[in-house]
Structure 1
Amino acid sequence: MSKTKTIMEHLSRDPILAHVIEQVGPPPEVLRSSHGHPFTVLASSVIGQQLSGKAADAIEKRVVALTGGLLPEQLRAHTHEALRGCGLSNAKVRTLHALSDVSLQGTVNFETLHQQTDEEIMNQLLPVWGIGRWTVEMFLMFGLGREDIYSPGDGALKRAFANLYGDSDLQEVTTKWSPYRSHACWYLWRSL
């Protein structure tokens, strides 16, 4: 049986999610972002926080045009003011510089994060200024392709869950989706 079919069959045990699956179709083969390098995925997540996809894309394109990419040495080579000129907030520039610093200093080794548990990654990234739980959860899903992440703080997931499940117990429902909660998130986002 293919991985996609396995995921769909597992999640379809939930009759509400089965209806969404029937409407939306198969999940993507891989959750990982097309950005590739884990640091770049995380930097892109920071840029896109609390913005529409269109606005985030426009700002990211300006940042890349200025820096040549979203790697630590590229971002750190530019001043706070230069990055602000691309449309980034003060907080986002500070976060991108803080992320770049922990990478360049070796405090966080983005090349080996895939070998660590979700909790170990949380413990490394949450102390970085401006990095919160939601950002790390999105990074785990899209930067590292982790398949069993649910992000309870995600606004869109909250809305989708309320629309589909009403007052049902979040923990009780999402536990049944394991080990494919990241794919369930994908379906919930598509349900909006």
Structure 2
Amino acid sequence: MTAPTLRGAAAFVQQVRAAEQHLSGADPVMAAVIERHGPCTLGATRRDPFHTLCASIISQQLSSKAADTIQARLMAGIGAGRRITPPLLLAASHEELRGYGLSTAKARWLRALGEAAAAGTLDFRALGRLDDEAAIAVLDALPGIGRWTAEMFLMFALNRIDLFAMDDVGLRRGVAMLYNRGRPLSDARTLKITRRWAPYRTIASWYLWRVADPVNEIWV
């Protein structure tokens, strides 16, 4: 499923409501979480695909506050308004990108991403037509983008409805808090729990982030 159009956005909201009903019926623990946190707002904000990937790279291994600071410096420095674009990014030198607070590797990865998007080798429309695993494979092949970043992109830029990122610390903490009194769970036990949420594991993930870090609004 690609990011929803104006008409598609309404359909996506209906799908999210259906997901909440399914999750509540399939899992009493999740039903209580949905009752406590209210309707899921995933999809309420339309996310530009290129900007979302850039933001994901910037935020790797940083706190939300540090990532926000660096992203704000970068956007101000390259003259970006509400989003980072390939032409604006490529107009900045590697040294300029480093001066905004990016590491050497992240500056290099962002330029490579801009070059791929500008050349058309990274085609977001084509990416949106691929199934989840094929899209993840395309993104994973890009410098600086691993499976976790690809999964976050699919969830929040392409509105894919049935993903659970096993490597996400917040999601694993949320599962542990809800199902094992905060003690870490094995991959096998985690997968067994998450299977009951299919085909709406992305929506369940949204609620797990609320459980694990209720003050962080990054995933709204």
Please indicate, yes or no, whether the TM-score normalized by the shorter chain is above 0.5: yes
Preserved CA contact (<8 Å) 1:38 1:111:
no
Structure 2: unaligned runs, 5 residues or longer: 1-12, 213-220
The share of aligned pairs that are identical, in percent, is 45
Q: Distance in 2 between matches of 1:118 and 1:129?
A: 19
Q: CA 1:121–1:111 in structure 2 vs 1: closer, same or farther (change >3 Å)?
A: same
Secondary structure of 2:124's aligned partner: coil
- Structure 1 residue 29, shift from structure 2 partner: 5.0
Q: Which amino acid aligns with 1:43?
A: C
| TM-score, normalised relative to structure 1 | 0.91
Q: Which amino acid aligns with 1:3?
A: Q
The answer on 1:18 being equivalent to 2:31 is: yes
Preserved CA contact (<8 Å) 2:23 2:200:
yes
1:59 aligned partner: 70
2:140 aligned partner: 126
2:20 aligned partner: 8
Q: Distance in 2 between matches of 1:157 and 1:132?
A: 17
Deviations 1:133-182 (A, max 9, x none): 00000000111111111110011111111111224711221111112111
Structure 1: unaligned runs, 5 residues or longer: none
- Structure 1 residue 188, shift from structure 2 partner: 0.4
Q: Which amino acid aligns with 2:178?
A: L
Deviations 1:33-73 (A, max 9, x none): 54x32111111111122222222222111111111231122
Q: Which amino acid aligns with 2:72?
A: K
Alignment of 1:73-152 (within 5 A): 73-152=87-166
Runs of 4+ in structure 1 off by over 3 angstroms are 1-5
Q: Distance in 1 between matches of 2:20 and 2:126?
A: 30
Q: Give the number of aligned pairs.
A: 190
Preserved CA contact (<8 Å) 1:148 1:181:
yes
The answer on 1:68 being equivalent to 2:79 is: yes
The answer on 1:28 being equivalent to 2:46 is: no
Q: Distance in 1 between matches of 2:191 and 2:175?
A: 11
Deviations 1:76-123 (A, max 9, x none): 211111111111111211111121122122221123322221122112
Q: Distance in 2 between matches of 1:95 and 1:38?
A: 16
